[in-house]
């Protein structure tokens, strides 16, 4: 292809015309534009290519010519050689800057992750990895995958892949080497705590299915409370949920806790099908509304509910977004169950993903509509400017905090209970979010709970599901922290460091303050001792969670820890075992205004 033709194609790229993929803004899931998206709605497919008005079209053509002219003049006359592709892509990103933060130009890697998450499968070994102490480390083998079958364990450090050292690699580089065509093999050299020599594992790659439902089971035998965890909405979600609910019913479940915390969303059709498992047939689940008044589309529950009347509690938090908010909002609006936790993320946007002509490394993700739950509430927070923390291709703005609901935006459920608009789903029962101390944050940040679990389980291989971290375990954990030279800065130390820097060039004030600074430094050790005492309960809890996850995987985490120690689950169990309270909370005000 000649240079001029390539340049013309790049400028043509600015028109952004393409075929589309409909998806709900969530954790990056999408679905091809085919009948599966719309077949259950009774609405038919959206006409995504409806022409704009003549005046609109003339304006677009006018400014497209302007962009083309500017790009050509820069490419022809700028004093240095310009990478045309980079220039045009920068121009496109500039256009998207004036839109909402979720309309973005997706690089190929982000698009591939989106598709992988949507389809719920990839070819590789089947394990979660992370960098721990600058070494690629296995966090958890996925159940039923080649990694688990050959005996790889959480905490194993991968030091070489097919003989190539992993020193200096990040997790993406390591994952790229380990993934490959199903049926091919890769050799991993690992170092395991408690063994003197490295181990070589030859692992055959396979198609790895990523489950939407990592766990379901009875977490209270006496009251037969079932627990169901859903971590995303992918193509297999409805079938996985159906099977899990059917299994819980066969085990005699008398109530259900449905955990949607930190579920970033996914496919719209799967959200509708998920709600249909709990709602009576033909109940509205959600509707979408674009710029055109005639573009409204309504989605209704399909088929008879699998669990139409079992008491239901849905757990949500600030990480519950998009498709998860559709499901929790529909359940709340139809008074089918109680919502417990924290106000949800507030991401209520419908998007299309466009593959662009003459390019193979980018796609356009463009917001085209908002969605509303049955009461008429828009889930989108008007002030939401951050990206969702579990959307892999999106940047996080940590300055955005949970916003209290707007009491002026009042809506009503089917039975007349008040619910609030203004963004996100406001729970029926609010739970205070824990506030963690600097010591606890640094123990997590430095991976000390996970590393200690690897260390402790190597010395105590017979840990039971009933394990609890007592005072002797906590004392051993403290010795481990000393041996591994764990340290962190308290807020006092940080303030002292700042003061020392400010006084660096001021000798007179150094003399005045130095004695006080030295005295406060001497008190820091006592401050850290007090912090350890104040954090005893948190550390015991996290040691237990890390150890049960290390030894028993998902089963240990959910059965041994979540079902027994999680504050949200404990609150839900307390309500479900007090039927009068459950009924009272669902009754609400029977009068609508």
Q: Could you write out the DSSP letters of every residue in 304-365?
A: --SSSSS-EEEEE-TT--THHHHHHHHHHHTTSSEEEES------EEEEEEEPTT-SSEEEE
Task: Given the residues 269, 317, 333, 566, select the one marked as catalytic.
Answer: 333
Helical (H) or strand (E) element with 229: strand 225-229
With contact defined as beta carbons under 8 Å apart, do 106 and 363 qualify? Answer: yes
The sign one gets for the Cα dihedral 554, 557, 563, 566 is: negative
**Exposed e or buried b for every residue in 53-84, given b needs 16+ CB within 10 A?**
eeeeeeeeeeeeeebbeebeeebeeeeeeeeb
386 part of the active site: no
Q: Could you write out the DSSP letters of every residue in 63-82?
A: HHHHHHHHHHHHHHH-SS--
Q: Could you write out the DSSP letters of every residue in 237-276?
A: HHHHHHHHHHHHHHTT--EEEEE-TT---B-HHHHHHHHH
Task: Given the residues 322, 328, 375, 549, select the one marked as catalytic.
Answer: 322
Tokens of 156: 């194993």
Rounded CA-CA distance 174/170 in Å is: 6
Helix residue spans in 361-490 (DSSP H): 438-445, 448-459, 471-483
Task: Given the residues 211, 232, 283, 347, select the one marked as catalytic.
Answer: 347
Rounded CA-CA distance 447/455 in Å is: 12
347 part of the active site: yes
Query: If you search the block for the tokens 């085990």, which residue do you land on?
Result: 251
Q: Going by C-beta distance under 8 Å and a sequence separation of 6 or more, which residues neighbour residue 65? A: none
Q: How many CA atoms lie within 13 A of 586 on its CB side?
A: 21
**Shortest CA distance to 84 belongs to which of 67, 102, 72?**
72
With contact defined as beta carbons under 8 Å apart, do 372 and 285 qualify? Answer: no
Helical (H) or strand (E) element with 93: helix 84-96
333 part of the active site: yes
Q: Which residues participate in catalysis according to the annotation?
A: 322, 333, 347
């Amino acid at each position: 292809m000649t240079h001029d033709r390539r340049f013309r194609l790049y400028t043509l790229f600015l028109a952004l015309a393409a075929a589309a993929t409909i998806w709900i803004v969530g954790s990056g899931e999408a679905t091809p534009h085919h009948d599966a998206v719309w077949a259950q709605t009774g609405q038919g497919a959206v006409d995504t290519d409806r022409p704009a008005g003549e005046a609109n079209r003339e304006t677009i053509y006018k400014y497209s010519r302007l962009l083309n002219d500017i790009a050509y003049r820069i490419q022809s006359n700028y004093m240095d050689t310009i990478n045309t592709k980079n220039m045009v892509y920068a121009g496109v990103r500039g256009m998207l800057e004036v839109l909402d933060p979720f309309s973005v130009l997706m690089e190929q890697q982000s698009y591939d992750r989106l598709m992988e998450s949507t389809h719920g499968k990839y070819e590789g070994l089947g394990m979660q990895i992370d960098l721990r102490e600058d070494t690629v480390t296995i966090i958890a083998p996925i159940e039923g995958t080649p990694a688990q079958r050959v005996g790889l364990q959480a905490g194993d450090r991968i030091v070489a892949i097919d003989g190539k050292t992993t020193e200096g690699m990040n997790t993406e580089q390591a994952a790229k080497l380990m993934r490959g065509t199903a049926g091919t093999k890769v050799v991993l050299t690992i170092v395991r705590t408690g063994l003197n020599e490295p181990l070589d594992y030859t692992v055959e790659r396979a198609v790895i299915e990523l489950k939407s439902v990592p766990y379901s089971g009875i977490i209270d035998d006496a009251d037969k409370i079932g627990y169901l965890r859903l971590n995303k909405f992918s193509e297999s979600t409805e079938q996985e949920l159906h099977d899990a609910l059917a299994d819980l019913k066969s085990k005699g479940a008398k109530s259900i806790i449905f955990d949607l915390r930190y579920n970033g969303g996914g496919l719209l059709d799967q959200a509708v099908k998920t709600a249909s498992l709990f709602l009576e047939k033909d109940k509205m689940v959600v509707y979408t509304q674009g710029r055109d008044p005639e573009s409204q589309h309504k989605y209704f529950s399909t088929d008879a509910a699998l669990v139409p009347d079992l008491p239901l509690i849905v757990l949500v938090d600030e990480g519950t977004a998009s498709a998860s908010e559709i499901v929790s909002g529909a359940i709340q609006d139809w008074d089918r169950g109680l919502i417990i936790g924290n106000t949800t993320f507030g991401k209520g946007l419908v998007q299309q993903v466009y593959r662009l002509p003459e390019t193979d490394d980018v796609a356009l993700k463009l917001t085209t509509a908002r969605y509303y739950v049955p009461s008429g509430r828009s889930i989108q927070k008007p002030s939401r400017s951050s990206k969702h923390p579990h959307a892999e291709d999106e940047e996080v703005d940590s300055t955005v905090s949970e916003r209290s609901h707007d009491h002026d935006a009042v809506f009503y459920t089917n039975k007349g209970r008040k619910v609030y608009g203004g963004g996100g789903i406001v729970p029926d029962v609010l739970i205070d979010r824990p506030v963690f101390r600097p010591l606890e944050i640094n123990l997590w940040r430095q991976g000390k709970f996970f590393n200690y679990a690897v260390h402790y389980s190597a010395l105590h291989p017979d840990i039971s599901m009933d394990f609890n971290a007592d005072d002797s375990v906590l004392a051993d954990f403290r010795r481990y922290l000393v041996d591994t030279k764990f340290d962190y800065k308290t807020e006092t130390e940080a303030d002292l460091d700042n003061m020392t820097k400010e006084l660096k060039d001021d000798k007179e004030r150094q003399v005045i303050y130095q004695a006080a600074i030295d005295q406060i430094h001497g008190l820091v050790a006592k401050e850290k001792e007090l912090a350890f005492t104040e954090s005893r309960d948190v550390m015991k809890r996290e040691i237990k969670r890390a150890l049960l996850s290390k030894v028993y995987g998902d089963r240990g985490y959910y059965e041994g820890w979540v079902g027994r120690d999680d504050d949200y689950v404990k609150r839900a169990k307390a309500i479900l075992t007090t039927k009068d309270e459950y009924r009272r909370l669902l009754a609400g005000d029977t009068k609508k205004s």
